[in-house]
Amino acid sequence: NAGVTQTPKFQVLKTGQSMTLQCAQDMNHEYMSWYRQDPGMGLRLIHYSVGAGITDQGEVPNGYNVSRSTTEDFPLRLLSAAPSQTSVYFCASSTGQAGGYGYTFGSGTRLTVV
Amino acid sequence: GNSVTQMEGPVTLSEEAFLTINCTYTATGYPSLFWYVQYPGEGLQLLLKATKADDKGSNKGFEATYRKETTSFHLEKGSVQVSDSAVYFCALLSGSNYKLTFGKGTLLTVNP
């Protein structure tokens, strides 16, 4: 059981480049989310999805796009990378009873924008 | 809105010392409360949870009790080990809202 898989683990981008961070889960979870982790800031929600075809913005959505065409996959797209997007990105998933079971997190993608 | 406040770190302890990391919250309704742990270079792992008032979550020697009257969920361990060195996050999930709200994290370092 792979859980939540994120790729790549590390990435360096130049300002203005675009890229997609991949996230896949094999637990048939309805809910999926993207967070970014910055020193002294904890984790902040970027975008989330409650099921295939349904997405919504979190706390810090600017500069990011998401889509959810399948239950398993929830990619995060950076349209035009900026140094302020240098961060560690985590994808997480949960069942419908999120309060009871908590979230399962991927191992993260460390992104540096130069 | 929802918020979580946890004690500032870093916290440095000697092996076998007693650990407390304070966590208080503000939320609408009756949130579920969580402690997550992040070991160096890894993602977050669920450490323990409590879904209603007076529930006690426990795992790996760690405990936390959901105190509605003080809106708190403090993490405790009676005797820490070097392997407990990590960042600890308190988090909440409020009612039907499936969005986790995190505290800023507390770095714990345990020295032999």
In terms of CA atoms, which chain A residue is nearest residue B40? A107
User: pLDDT tens digit string along A26-75?
Assistant: 999 989 999 999 988 889 999 999 899 999 999 899 999 999 999 999 99
The beta-carbon neighbor of A99 closest among B32, B44, B103 is: B32
In terms of CA atoms, which chain A residue is nearest residue B48? A102
Q: What is the DSSP string of A20-82?
A: EEEEEESS--SEEEEEEEETTTEEEEEEEEEETTEEEE-SS-TTEEE--SSSSB--EEESS--
Contact residues, chain A, for B89 at CB < 8 Å: 42-43
Please give the pLDDT value at position B42. Answer: 87
Longest CA–CA span in chain A (Å) reads 41
Give the A:B interface size as CB pairs under 8 Å. Answer: 52
User: pLDDT tens digit string along B27-80?
Assistant: 988 888 999 999 988 889 999 999 889 999 999 999 999 999 999 999 999 999
Contact residues, chain A, for B40 at CB < 8 Å: none
In terms of CA atoms, which chain B residue is nearest residue A6? B43
